[in-house]
Amino acid sequence: MYAAEAPPPRPATTVPGLARLKREGQPIVALTAYDASFAAVLEAAGVDLVLVGDSLGMVVQGHASTLPVTVDDIVYHCRAVARGLRSALLVADMPFGADATPLHALEASLRMLKEGAAAMVKIEGAGPKLETLRFLVEREIPVCAHLGLTPQSVHRLGGYKVQGREAAAAEQLKRDALAVEAAGASALVLECVPSALAEAITRSLAIPTIGIGAGSACDGQVLVLHDLLGIGGGQRPRFVKDFLAGGGSVEGAVRAYAEAVRSRRFPGPEHAYA
C-alpha cells in the first residue's frame, strides 16, 4: 500500500475553537473513529472533532451495549486514532463506571490525555455527575457533557428512547444543560431529543451543542462512523443517513457528510424527532 501525498495542514481545532465556531455560526462536524486509518480519512475530509466513543463496544467489539467498554479500551483506541489526526480535536468517552467518583474520573481522564493523546473527555449525565465534571475542569481537563439519551443509562431508561418529550422531562433537560455549562463543560452532546427542545437549549447556552438525533438547530452534528457508512445490521435509528450509498467511497461519504452538516442540509426533518 502506498501512502497518498498529505494535503496541506489546516488550523487545529482547539477546545476554545469550538466556542468560536458557535459564535461565528459555523456548524461543527464530528464523527466517531476507532483506528488510525479511518481517523486519517476523517482528517483529510476536514472533520473538526473526532470522538473515540464507547460505541466501540457495539460496532467494534460486538457487544449488545456500551457497558462492557473499559478505560483500557478507550485509551488503546485513542492512541490509534491520534496517529491518524493532525488538526481534528480528539475526544475520549468516559466508560461506564469510570466516573463513579471524581477521583476515579480523574485517574481515567489522565490516562486518556497522557497515554491516549485526547484533548477532552466526554461524560454522560448531570445531577451527581456535576461534582465530577467540576472536579475535572478545575484540574485542567476539558469536558464535553452528554444529555438526552445517555446510552450508559440504557437499563434505567428501559431501552434507547427519545428523551424530553414530556413537559417535566423537557424542563429538567433545560436545567441540566445550564448546570453542566455552569460546572465548566466546554461542549454538550444532545442525543435523541425533540428538535424544538434542542433548539431552545442551544440558544440558552454559550457553549456549543453537538446533536445526534436532535435536529438541525444544534451547533454541530455527530454520527457513529459505522452508521454513516451503512455498516451493521438491525433497524437504524431515524437520525442515521447512509452517506456511502451516494458518496462512492469511504472518503467521499465522509466528505459528503461534512459538506451536508456545514450547509445545514443534514440532518433534515426526516432525521429529527418531534
Q: Which three cell numbers stand for residue 145?
A: 457533557
Asked about 191 being catalytic, the answer comes back as: yes
Concatenate the DSSP letters of all residues of 115-175 into one string: TS--SEEEEE-STTHHHHHHHHHTTT--EEEEEES-GGGHHHHTSS-----SHHHHHHHHH
Q: How far apart are CA 85 and CA 41, in angstroms?
A: 9
Q: What is the DSSP letter of 229?
A: T
Q: CB-based burial of residue 269 (10 Å sphere; 0-12 exposed, 13-18 middle, 19+ buried)?
A: exposed
Helix, strand, or coil (residue 65) = coil
- 30 pairs with which residues across the strands? 49, 222
* Nearest in space to 198 (alpha carbons), one of 241, 162, 151, 153: 162
- Whether the ω angle into residue 267 lies within 30 degrees of 0, i.e. cis, is yes
Our separate counts of H helices and E strands in the chain read: 12, 8
Q: Are the beta carbons of 71 and 54 closer than 8 angstroms?
A: no
Q: Which of 124, 181, 191, 199 is catalytic?
A: 191
Task: List active site positions.
Answer: 191
